[in-house]
């Protein structure tokens, strides 16, 4: 059947509309694919060079959402073999070599094509802060050695840095609140909103050489040196943060022993924090190498000291209290110890690192009240050494020190930081939250890569989806309009001719 001229015009318009509509739809669907399909993954590497050991963390996130919340996840955690890098003073090159195995694991995980664009950082904390204070030349040599090793890797090494204590506490605060999703939340109405101040968690970190506390106080922060301010996701945060150098677990144990030696300068030391029946010998020379040990060293540092445990938790607590200067805060409500300003603790806290490891060993991470925790630790300290050894096989390295560590944590949190019977319940002893390890490394990487934006996150995926829907509606409207116009051109004259209008005939005078 041969088409009329008007029908040919209609078919041409229909073809043009279909072609243009199909082209626009393809472009919109390509854009929609970016919205609806999984995005490429990016990676970041952080070395945590602590006083007792180094750890590597690999983080990953969808490439199209780096400025949104809750998208960064931990892909790998690797503990470096050997001590912390501050221990390699005589052989700095080995500090760099010690990192190779964990770095190899990270490179195997990250696709080779993405190695060059993957940022890598090394942050050193209290161990290197102490070494820098004691011998800055040795500290520089170690930093140079690890930088040489890491700069030879195929990833984008951004450098090795010595973290200030305040920053270590602040980055821990960012990490825990990021992992918990408490910096910003997405409401049911489709808007990014700021969570109530009360949901922000405080951070309690106990390392080998220092301890950090960071939280949002109820009132103003009166000492600017303890204040850290951030603008995250369009909201301002002002937190209290302080790092107490020499109050980490390992340095506490060294200072405790030095104090006991000073009070009883004999070849045999009866140690109240070790279990009865425990016996060991050590050289005094190593004890006084730390800048944290400020007691007078004995004249004969070459002599070996024999230590016998007595399992006396009461005497152990008395010795631990000597490590603090509580009298300097007498009469001052907003004071921790050693004259350090601290507002009253408030809100929920997450205690990690050695806080967690010690209480996890003692089975005290289930929210037990303060009285129960105190009684449990005292009972543990009073067990004979033979019974403790039999109960915990394979844990010989740290086993003699859990009594002192447990009592020290109680003293630090209760008498030092000021947690009472009532506020103790607000402390969660945890290693992980939201699928990632709690520590300063995630907050550090987020800060250096700009992945926690100062401005509120744009609803990128939601906006792209709206654009897609609007585009589809626009194409549909365009097709209807074109087809409608073509239909009018083709069919309206025929309909009019059948009724007599426009055909040259006159209307029926007897019409309806």
The active-site residue, picked from 168, 289, 421, 428, is 168
Closest CA to 374 of 407, 404, 421: 407
Burial class (CB within 10 angstroms; exposed 0-12, middle 13-18, buried 19+) of 342: buried
If we measure between CA atoms, which residue out of 3, 54, 347, 305 comes closest to residue 199? 347
HSE at residue 370, side-chain half, CA atoms within 13 A, is 16
Using alpha carbons, select from 130, 304, 96 the residue that is nearest to residue 208: 130
C-alpha–C-alpha distance, residues 480 and 478, integer Å: 5
3-state secondary structure of 121: strand
Q: Looking at the chain, how many residues does it have?
A: 512
| Cα–Cα dist 81/480, whole Å | 70
91 catalytically annotated: no
Of all helices (H) and strands (E), which one includes residue 240?
strand 235-245
DSSP string, 433-480: ETTEE-SSHHHHHHHHHT-S-SSPPP-HHHHHHHHHHHHHHHHHHHHH
CA distances to 20, 31, 35, 186, 469 from 466, rounded to whole Å, are 21, 11, 10, 17, 5
Annotated catalytic sites, by residue?
168
């Amino acid at each position: 059947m041969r088409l009329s001229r008007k029908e040919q015009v209609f078919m041409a318009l229909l073809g043009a509309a279909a072609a243009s509509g199909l082209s626009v739809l393809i472009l919109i669907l390509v854009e929609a694919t970016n919205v609806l399909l999984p995005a490429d993954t990016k990676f970041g590497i952080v070395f945590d060079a602590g006083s007792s050991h180094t750890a590597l963390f690999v983080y990953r996130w969808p490439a199209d959402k780096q400025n949104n919340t809750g998208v960064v996840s931990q892909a790998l955690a690797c503990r470096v073999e050997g001590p912390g890098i501050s221990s390699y003073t005589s052989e700095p090159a080995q500090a760099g070599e010690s990192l190779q195995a964990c770095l190899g694991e990270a490179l195997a995980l990250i696709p080779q094509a993405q190695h060059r664009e993957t940022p890598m950082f090394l942050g050193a904390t209290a161990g290197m802060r102490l070494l820098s204070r004691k011998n800055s030349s040795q500290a520089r040599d170690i930093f140079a050695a690890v930088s040489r090793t890491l700069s030879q890797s195929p990833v984008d090494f951004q450098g090795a840095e010595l973290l200030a204590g305040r920053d270590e506490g602040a980055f821990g605060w960012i990490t825990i609140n990021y992992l918990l999703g408490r910096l910003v939340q997405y409401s049911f109405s489709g808007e990014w909103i700021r969570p109530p101040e009360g949901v922000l968690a405080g951070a309690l970190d106990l390392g080998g050489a220092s301890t950090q506390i960071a939280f949002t106080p109820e009132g103003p922060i009166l000492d600017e040196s303890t204040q850290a301010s951030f603008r995250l996701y369009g909201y301002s945060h002002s937190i209290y943060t302080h790092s107490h150098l020499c109050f980490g677990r390992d340095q506490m144990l060294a200072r405790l022993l030095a104090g006991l030696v000073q009070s009883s300068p004999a070849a045999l030391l009866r140690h109240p924090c070790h279990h009865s029946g425990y016996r060991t010998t050590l050289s005094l020379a190593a004890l006084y190498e730390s800048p944290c040990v400020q007691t007078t060293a004995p004249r004969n540092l070459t002599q070996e000291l024999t230590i016998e445990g007595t399992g006396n938790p009461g005497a152990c607590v008395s010795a631990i209290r000597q490590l603090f200067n509580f009298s300097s805060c007498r009469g001052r409500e907003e004071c921790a110890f050693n004259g350090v300003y601290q507002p009253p603790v408030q809100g929920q806290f997450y205690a990690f690192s050695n806080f967690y490891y010690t209480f996890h060993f003692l089975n005290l991470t289930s929210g037990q009240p303060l009285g129960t925790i105190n009684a449990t630790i005292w009972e543990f300290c009073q067990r004979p050494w033979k019974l403790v050894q039999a109960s915990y096989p394979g844990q010989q390295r740290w086993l003699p020190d859990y009594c002192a560590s447990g009592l020290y944590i109680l003293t630090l949190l209760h008498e030092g930081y000021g947690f009472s019977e009532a506020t103790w319940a607000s402390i969660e002893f945890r290693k992980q939250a939201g699928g990632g390890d709690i520590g300063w490394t995630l907050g550090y990487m987020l800060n250096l890569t700009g992945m926690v934006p100062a401005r509120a996150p744009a609803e990128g995926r939601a906006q792209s989806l709206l654009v897609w829907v609007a585009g589809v509606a626009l194409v549909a409207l365009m097709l209807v309009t074109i087809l409608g116009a073509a239909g009018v051109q083709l069919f309206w004259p025929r309909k009019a001719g059948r009724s007599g209008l426009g055909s040259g005939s006159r209307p029926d005078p007897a019409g309806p």
